[in-house]
């Protein structure tokens, strides 16, 4: 086995540690939503639509007894 590779099949192996990113290395996550049958990034919404998006609540269906 190559010493530079990691075989995760054995329970004693742990994945290699990933160093945390600095703030200047991070990439902003772009959130998309479905609007009128197609997908658009929320960042392209006007202030009012962004506010409406922030107020949305997920629909939770109750089980039928």
Q: What is the mean pLDDT of the chain?
A: 82
24-42 per-position pLDDT tens digit: 998 889 999 987 889 999 9
pTM above 0.85, yes or no: no
Residue 55: pLDDT band by 50, 70, 90 thresholds? very high
**Mean pLDDT throughout 50-60?**
90
The DSSP secondary structure of 22-54, one letter per residue, reads PGGG--PPPPEEEETTEEEEGGGS-HHHHHHHH
Confidence band, pLDDT 50/70/90 cuts, at residue 17: confident
């Amino acid at each position: 086995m190559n010493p530079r590779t990691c075989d995760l099949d054995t329970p004693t192996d742990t994945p290699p540690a990933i160093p945390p990113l600095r703030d200047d290395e991070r990439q902003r996550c772009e959130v998309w939503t479905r609007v009128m049958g197609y997908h658009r990034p929320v960042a392209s919404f006007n202030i009012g639509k962004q506010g409406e998006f922030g107020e949305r609540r997920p629909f939770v269906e109750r089980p039928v007894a």
